[in-house]
């Protein structure tokens, strides 16, 4: 028996299990639907995998037009104070409760001058003159457990392989070309770039160098590729290309950078030449094996923290077929759902690492010089959503660029708050770029979200809740939160209707009229003030806490139940039950806020449910109801309402309507917009574990479609790492690892029956509480396990 088991183990060791991967049996039909993204945060590339001309489009996050150096750039600031104009709109709203967005934009809007666009850096094109017309056994894949893309095909009895990865430790993109027989690698490598820059391309000693500057703003950039062939011959051409003939294998390393620096007001740093050259040289000296080992160690160190088993079975289908066939039920559907969850984590690691800009609307991947919405940072949902999965799915490190970026908004945001609102503190208004654009644009239905700073600041406090890191709270979160709160201590006005403190003018994102105190505006400010009051207590800023407490007493929290049982979107009962607009922003207090919950505020939770049902789930004939991010947000809303089946329905709709063949989220059809990916991953995490009510809520919204499963490594607020195993829809075992000492409260159906709670030494631990909620005292660093009998 033992012998037989060992034999099985030898034939099929656990590591031989097929890794989580996307794969295709043909080259990409296009970049957007079929390209496979790799990235190390700062750099990204998309692998489309043509045999004869392999076009490796690549990016570096800081290559942007616009900003300082571009004619007319002024950070979006109006030329003179807008305080009087804002007061004029407030008076209009005092007279009449609703004013059309066009009228307000005519008074407050500003031209969007020299805002800029995120740029494609260019393409590294590998031309294989001897490539076959019809290759055999073609396979293009992206292994998301190792973050390696691979292409393989057979021709003339030779198996050719191309591997591609983006190394964070080495800060380069690495490509290796191999063949099953010697001397079979022949190709030409060349760089291309769009015409909106001065590019000087040269090749020498196996190195292509392309320094240049963007015509628009003078931003300097450089790309370098080193081509190291084993065996064969190498030659350089005057056009800056490098040709390799008859080699056994070849290693290519690509690095790119600019002289951008996240530094207001100039946003310029050192010339990129030295840094780029040092990176390619150091990578080339390391060689493929070491680059690969260090990359996988770094990547897996993050990715492997969370595993999800919902009974998925990948089967033999390529990913485009899996997407096409989705909806038939069973293990194949679960395979795609589990893959989408982990793919969101993959994309976050690949597009957001310390030392660069945060993930933008397309993460780091963009093949255009004028991408949709400039591929910027929209802050009325999109940038925020990008970071929703970071803490819950155990990827806190990926928040580093987000935190650096928001820290960096304070300096320009202070000028904007003063010039536009006449207020102290910092904020921004709808969208921003890497150049500190914190002022206004003039698009009537999307230009006025002055609470954006407050929302971003709340995310800092949420990060603190997950980590309980007091140094972070005092040194990073507090200055950001305090500054964001100062704006509203200054800028709130008294509503003549009821004497409450309100935001005015205020606008429910991209929807309806301008009014005073749209629900979302009030909820965001209320949420920030309550978080900041709590934080002030911890950091000992009592004077500020008193100001916040006093304001909170008079602040309208933005929570009203209307005539048809809905949660009102505005202070007046204007909601239309037939309205299917994609934004459901008035549910902010349910998610990501925490003012509404079925346990603490059941009536408001019911009203949120009514509103959500009316808004609908899917893409409608109006076109924009079901953007990817809108569905993803609704997943989280339903999860927080404890309706796992409805959350799952939205996940299914997102997979059917918004997932492209490469699992990138489509806005509606194209364009690709990555927030839906990140939001879906966060939504799945919310279905399995929640912790917003000082309670670790186990399987709060488990859908019927996932009766049995196991998740390991999710994070709960209070610095707890959680694993859950469930059968028949009920938790059977919960493991909690406490990062801090203190009381842990858990809510689970497991407590309905007999259970035991033990520490790592299998000693019983006593619990208090009754029914579904039990508490116990945890020691720092200890692991506890709750098991159902």
Q: Which is nearer to ligand FUC, 265 or 669 (CB)?
A: 669
Q: Which is nearer to ligand FUC, 222 or 675 (CB)?
A: 675
Q: Which is nearer to ligand FUC, 182 or 671 (CB)?
A: 671
Site string for ligand FUC, 228-267 (x = CB under 6 A): ----------------------------------------
Cross-strand partners of 370 = none
Q: Which is nearer to ligand FUC, 433 or 510 (CB)?
A: 510
Kindly indicate which of the ranges 75-83, 267-275, 320-328, 379-387 contains the residues binding ligand FUC, using the contact rule CB under 6 A.
379-387
Kindly indicate which of the ranges 28-36, 68-76, 373-381, 717-725 contains the residues binding ligand FUC, using the contact rule CB under 6 A.
373-381
- Residue of the chain from 446, 520, 654, 711 that contacts ligand FUC (CB under 6 A): 446
Of 387, 407, 411, the closest CA to residue 399 belongs to 387
Q: Which is nearer to ligand FUC, 217 or 627 (CB)?
A: 627
Task: Retrieve residue 429's tokens.
Answer: 């208004």
| 480-539: contacts with ligand FUC (CB under 6 A) | 510
What single string gives the DSSP state of each residue in 54-116? Answer: EEEEEEETT-B--STTSTT--TT--SS--HHHHHHHHHHHHHSS-B-HHHHHHHH-----S--
144 binds ligand FUC (CB under 6 A): no
Cβ of residue 395: shortest distance to ligand FUC, in angstroms? 23
CB 405: neighbour CB atoms within 10 A?
Answer: 18
Of 338, 342, 355, the closest CA to residue 303 belongs to 342
23 binds ligand FUC (CB under 6 A): no
For 353-392, letters b (16+ CB in 10 Å) and e give beebbbbbbbbbbbbbbebbbbbbbbbbbbbbbbbbbbbb
CB 348: neighbour CB atoms within 10 A?
Answer: 31
Q: Do 577 and 526 touch, CB atoms closer than 8 A?
A: no
- Residue of the chain from 361, 503, 639, 714 that contacts ligand FUC (CB under 6 A): 361
Q: Which is nearer to ligand FUC, 333 or 376 (CB)?
A: 376
CB 285: neighbour CB atoms within 10 A?
Answer: 11
Number of residues in contact with ligand FUC, rule: CB under 6 A? 11
Residue nearest to ligand FUC (CB): 378
Give the position of tokens 């009051």.
Answer: 533
Q: Is the peptide bond before 671 cis (omega within 30 degrees of 0)?
A: yes
Site string for ligand FUC, 613-652 (x = CB under 6 A): --------------x-x-----------------------
Kindly indicate which of the ranges 190-198, 278-286, 375-383, 763-771 contains the residues binding ligand FUC, using the contact rule CB under 6 A.
375-383
Q: Which is nearer to ligand FUC, 259 or 521 (CB)?
A: 521
- State the helix-helix crossing angle for 400-416 and 478-491, rounded to 10 degrees: 30
- Residue of the chain from 31, 373, 388, 751 that contacts ligand FUC (CB under 6 A): 373
Backbone angles phi, psi at 664, to 5 degrees: -65, 145
- Residue of the chain from 162, 378, 586, 631 that contacts ligand FUC (CB under 6 A): 378
Q: How far apart are CA 509 and CA 735, in angstroms?
A: 40
Cβ of residue 361: shortest distance to ligand FUC, in angstroms? 6
- C-alpha dist (Å) from residue 136 to 131, 148, 309, 555: 12, 22, 34, 68
338 binds ligand FUC (CB under 6 A): no
Q: Which residues, in sequence order, are CB contacts of 500 under 8 Å at separation 6+? A: 494, 517, 554, 555, 556
Q: Which is nearer to ligand FUC, 260 or 447 (CB)?
A: 447
Task: Retrieve residue 526's tokens.
Answer: 């209320």
Cβ of residue 624: shortest distance to ligand FUC, in angstroms? 7
Kindly indicate which of the ranges 28-36, 189-197, 378-386, 391-399 contains the residues binding ligand FUC, using the contact rule CB under 6 A.
378-386
| 177-216: contacts with ligand FUC (CB under 6 A) | none
Q: Do 213 and 243 touch, CB atoms closer than 8 A?
A: no
Give the position of tokens 């704006």.
Answer: 487
- Residue of the chain from 186, 209, 382, 721 that contacts ligand FUC (CB under 6 A): 382
Site string for ligand FUC, 714-733 (x = CB under 6 A): --------------------
- Interacting residue ranges for ligand FUC, rule: CB under 6 A: 361, 373, 378, 380-382, 446, 510, 627, 629, 673
């Amino acid at each position: 028996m033992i012998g037989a088991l060992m034999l099985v183990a030898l034939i099929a060791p656990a590591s031989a299990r097929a890794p989580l991967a996307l794969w295709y049996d043909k080259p990409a039909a296009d970049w957007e639907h079929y390209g496979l993204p790799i990235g190390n945060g700062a750099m990204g590339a998309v692998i489309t995998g043509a045999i004869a001309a392999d076009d490796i489009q690549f990016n570096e996050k800081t290559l942007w037009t616009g900003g300082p150096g571009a004619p007319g750039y002024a950070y979006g600031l109006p030329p003179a104070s807008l305080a009087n104009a804002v007061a004029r709109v407030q008076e209009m709203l005092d007279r009449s409760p609703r004013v059309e967005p066009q009228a307000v934009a005519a008074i407050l809007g500003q031209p969007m001058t020299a805002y800029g666009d995120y740029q494609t850096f260019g393409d590294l094109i590998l031309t294989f003159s001897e490539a076959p017309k019809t290759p055999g056994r073609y396979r293009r894949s992206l292994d998301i457990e190792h973050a390696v893309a691979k292409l393989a095909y057979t021709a003339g009895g030779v198996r050719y392989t191309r591997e591609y990865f983006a190394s964070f430790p080495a800060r380069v993109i690495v490509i290796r070309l191999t063949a099953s027989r010697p001397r079979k690698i022949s190709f030409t490598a060349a760089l291309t770039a769009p015409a909106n820059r001065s590019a000087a391309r040269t090749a020498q000693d196996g190195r292509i160098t392309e320094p240049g500057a963007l015509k628009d703003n003078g931003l300097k950039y450089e790309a370098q590729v080193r081509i190291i062939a084993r065996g064969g011959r190498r030659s350089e051409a005057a056009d800056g290309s490098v040709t390799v003939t008859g080699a056994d294998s070849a290693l290519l390393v690509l690095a790119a950078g600019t002289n951008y620096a996240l530094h207001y007001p100039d946003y310029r740093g050192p010339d990129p030449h030295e840094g780029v050259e040092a990176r390619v040289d150091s990578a080339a000296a390391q060689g493929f094996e070491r680059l690969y080992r260090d990359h996988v160690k770094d990547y897996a160190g993050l990715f492997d923290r969370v595993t999800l088993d919902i009974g998925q079975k990948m089967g033999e289908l390529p990913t485009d077929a899996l997407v096409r066939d989705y909806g038939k039920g069973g293990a194949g559907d679960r395979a795609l759902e589990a893959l989408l969850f982990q793919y969101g984590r993959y994309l976050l690691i690949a597009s957001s690492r310390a030392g660069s800009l945060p993930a933008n609307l397309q993460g780091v991947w963009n093949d255009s010089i004028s991408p949709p919405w400039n591929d910027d940072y929209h802050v009325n949902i999109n940038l925020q959503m990008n970071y929703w999965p970071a803490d819950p799915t155990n990827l806190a490190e990926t928040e580093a660029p987000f935190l650096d970026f928001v820290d960096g908004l304070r300096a320009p945001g202070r000028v904007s708050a003063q010039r536009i609102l006449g207020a102290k503190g910092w904020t921004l208004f709808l969208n921003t770029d890497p150049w500190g654009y914190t002022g206004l644009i003039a698009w009537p239905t999307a230009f006025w979200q002055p609470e954006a700073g407050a929302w971003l600041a709340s995310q800092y406090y949420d990060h603190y809740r997950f980590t309980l890191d007091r140094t972070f709270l005092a040194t990073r979160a507090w200055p950001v939160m305090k500054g964001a709160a100062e704006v509203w201590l200054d800028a709130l006005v008294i509503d003549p209707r009821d004497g409450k403190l309100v935001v005015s003018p205020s606008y429910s994102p991209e929807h309806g009229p301008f009014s005073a105190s749209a629900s979302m505006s009030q909820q965001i400010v209320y949420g920030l003030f309550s978080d900041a009051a709590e934080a002030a207590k911890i950091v000992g800023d009592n004077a500020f806490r008193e100001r916040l407490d006093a304001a909170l007493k008079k602040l309208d929290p933005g929570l009203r139940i209307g005539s048809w049982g809905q949660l009102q979107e505005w202070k007046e009962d204007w909601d239309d039950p037939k309205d299917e607009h994609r934004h459901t922003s008035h549910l902010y207090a349910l998610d990501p806020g925490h003012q509404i919950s079925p346990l603490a505020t059941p009536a408001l939770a019911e009203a949120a449910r009514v509103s959500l049902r009316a808004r609908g789930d899917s893409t409608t004939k109006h076109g924009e109801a079901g953007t990817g991010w809108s569905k993803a947000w609704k997943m989280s809303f339903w999860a927080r309402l404890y309706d796992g089946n409805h959350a799952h329905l939205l996940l299914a709709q997102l997979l059917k309507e918004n997932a492209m063949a490469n699992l990138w989220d489509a806005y509606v059809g194209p364009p690709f917009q990555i927030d839906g990916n990140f939001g879906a991953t966060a939504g799945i995490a919310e279905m399995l574990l929640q912790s917003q009510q000082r309670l670790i809520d186990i399987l709060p919204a488990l859908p019927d479609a996932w009766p049995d499963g196991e998740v390991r490594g999710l994070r709960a607020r209070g610095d707890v790492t959680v694993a859950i195993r469930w059968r028949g829809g009920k938790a059977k075992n919960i493991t909690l690892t406490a990062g801090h000492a203190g009381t842990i409260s858990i809510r689970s159906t497991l407590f309905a029956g007999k259970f035991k709670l033990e520490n790592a030494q299998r000693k019983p631990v006593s619990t208090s509480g009754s029914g579904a909620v039990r508490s116990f005292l945890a020691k720092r660093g200890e692991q506890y396990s709750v098991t159902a009998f």
